[in-house]
Amino acid sequence: MARSEGLDLNNIDETSPEEIEGNLAHIWSWRGPLYETYAMSLYLDYAPDFGKLSRWSGDVFGRLSGPRNVLLASSQNIHSYMMLGWETGIRNEFYVLWRNGMSREELMELVMFSQMYAGMRGLGHVYHAVGDFLRSMPPPPKEAPYPEGWAADNDAFRCGLDLSTREMTPDDTKRLTEWYEGTVGYLPKSIQFGLKYNPKFVKLNRARWERTFNKIPKQMAPYLMLRHSMLTGSVEGLREAALLGKAWGLTADLVVRATTNTAMYFTHFEGLYPVYTALDELLDNWDK
């Protein structure tokens, strides 16, 4: 690769003023939030070699890696930025995802899924970030480039809870247990704990989870769960997310992309310790 967004990546050790000007002009060309412009200014003014290597690394996951990968990374980032409370990032990812084919309805499904982790605080950050233009948001300029085989399937989420009562009935417990055993292969300890000590919470929280994705492909749920569990260092969460993803058609390559993208932008190599513990053997035998 000779040049990327105005930067000569064949020459890491030297950066001309023309390269810097070309890169900043390119970033500003789509008139999105300015954070990338000022972030790259710091890179190129004070650590241009590091900035070029970061641009090169970013090409693996970002714009030059193709619209599908941009869509996946930005969907994960909506979740992370809601957790972190970074409203500029939320606004930017809304714009990126809309530009790459996500409708307002799909974007809000991402938000509601992430709200189950980020709480009302997360919704507040979304409102401050995009509430001023959400109602007038036009249809996206193209169709979202989801990975091959990804499709919306709300029925896949549902285990058959009886929502005529808030109580967790014996049939509810049976159906929920069968869903987990049939989909990921076991009943997670998190669910075991909830059923033992607060079954009503499990029922109501599960009911929310089941109804979140209607337009977005079901595979996005485990893809987001991989990001969250990696950021929290949850070995059990990573394994559950990966097994759900495998059951719903995620490839091993997509699981690796979900986790290494997170390491690239959020955790550095340290974030891969729980990933290794949770997923190394599973990935080695993914297609067996």
Which tens digits make up the pLDDT trace of 214-244?
999 999 999 999 999 999 999 999 999 999 9
Q: Which helix (H) or strand (E) holds 37?
A: helix 35-46
Query: Best-predicted range by mean pLDDT among 30-34, 46-50, 150-154?
Result: 150-154
Q: Are 134 and 168 in contact (CB under 8 A)?
A: no
CA-to-CA distance for 22 and 16, rounded, in angstroms? 10
Mean pLDDT, to the nearest integer, of 83-93? Answer: 96
Give the helix/strand (H/E) hosting 4.
Answer: strand 3-4
**Which residue is it, tokens 């030059």?**
64
Residue 268, C-beta contacts closer than 8 angstroms, at least 6 positions apart: none
3-state secondary structure (DSSP) of residue 260: helix
Identity (one letter) of the amino acid at 56? Answer: W
Q: What pLDDT, on the 0 to 100 scale, is given for residue 62?
A: 67
User: Would you kindly state where each structural domain of the chain is located, as residue ranges?
Assistant: 14-61, 65-130, 154-284
Q: Helices 235-247 & 252-262, crossing angle to 10 degrees?
A: 140
* 141, 99 Cβ separation under 8 angstroms: yes
Q: Check whether 111 has a pLDDT greater than 90.
A: yes
Decide if 6 contacts 22 (C-beta within 8 A): yes
C-alpha to C-alpha distance for 121 and 137, rounded to whole angstroms: 23
> What pLDDT band is residue 263 in, cutting at 50, 70 and 90?
very high
First to last CA, the chain: 36
Write b or e for each residue in 114-137: b if 16 or more Cβ atoms lie within 10 A of its Cβ, otherwise e.
Answer: bbebbeeebeebbeebbeeeeeee
Its pTM stands at 0.91
Amino acid type, 29: S
Q: How confident is the model at residue 73 (pLDDT cuts 50, 70, 90)?
A: very high
157 has a pLDDT exceeding 80:
yes
The whole-number pLDDT of residue 27 equals 81
Decide yes or no: CATH 2.40.30.10 for domain 154-284: no
